[in-house]
Amino acid sequence: MVVFGSANAMGKGSKIGENKVQLTLEEIAKMLGLERFGPADLVITGVSAIEAAGEGDISFVTDRRHLSLLDKTAASAVIVFEGIEECRLPHIVSPNPYLSFVKLVNIFHPTFRPEPGISQSAAVSEEAQVASSAAVGAFSFIDAGASIGPDSVIYPQVYIGRNVKIGRDTVIKPQVSILDDTVIGDRCIVHSGAVIGSDGYGFINDKGRHVKIPQIGNVVIGDDVEVGASVAIDRATFGSTMIGSGCKIDNLVHVAHNVTVGKNTLLVAQVGIAGSTSIGNNCTLAGQVGVAGHISIGDNVIAASKAGIPRDIPDGSVVGGIPAVSIDEWRRQVAGIIRLPKLMSEVRELKKQVKMLTERLGQSES
């Protein structure tokens, strides 16, 4: 393999800047497979939020709460929800207007893709394999035994350790560290500052001294996973830390050693999952949820923000609070906490009255 490759990697690619796409309303409707109402030849030149849209833009409304915005917008067309009775603007009807709009954003503003090749300033081991259709940016390092799949993009200043495997059409943003033996699937995105495969936090006490436990496992990430900025996913002590296909991990999340996260699970910002815990499929852990180690969370579980989960949670549960309880119980607890100041004031007043009555009773008896 080439150690210092072609000069054009990251130098060219899909143009960033002003959108040049122009489509008629009819063309858009056909692309989305939806019904059009309005002039077929209406030219659409951009996409925008409905408050900021101008002439030539298409926007969207998701429900009746936002219908008043249709009277104020300068958009040329809108995507609307099914069952709308009246719309003064040319429009397209969708069962999911937001999803349809997202598809249009990708059409009008396609993701930047650099040309294939390896930057002359990148360092790639002769024992690494980089697909001819992949791109490797300036000052990136790829160690022996690593492989980069077809159409993948390694941005500048990325570290890729020994025997790392990266699949097809995966994008690694600048200043990511992917440490030895990590496996990342197809169509993944890893954002800047993420560290994948760092040592798990494992120590054993020997007469008051903390002795490091070797972390000889790895991290395995499935397909279609997005890893946010400054996320840390620790390698396993033995075996693998597993992130299932379709997971979306927000910024500043920590996944500890030997954790298993099921498919299509969402980990929102600042979630922390302690070692050897299992998270099921299709779960949502909201911001700053903390999960204890060596427990099991079932499928389709939702944890409200800041929940602290110390024990197993069964399938389909919705929990909140510290320690986490059912969401209904947590709401009752919160309501009780809100009432506490008034209750304490009432108790103080009652204590005064009891004291007065007791003193009077004592005087009458004497």
Phi-psi region of 158 (alpha: psi -120 to 50; beta: other; left: phi over 0): beta
Active-site position among 191, 254, 257, 294: 257
User: Residue 294 catalytic?
Assistant: no
Q: How far apart are CA 305 and CA 314, in angstroms?
A: 18
Please report how the helices 97-108 and 25-32 are oriented relative to each other, as an axis angle in degrees rounded to 10.
120
- Report the candidate in 15, 198, 229, 8 with the shortest Cα–Cα distance to residue 122: 8
Q: Write down how long the chain is.
A: 366
Just list the catalytic residues. 257
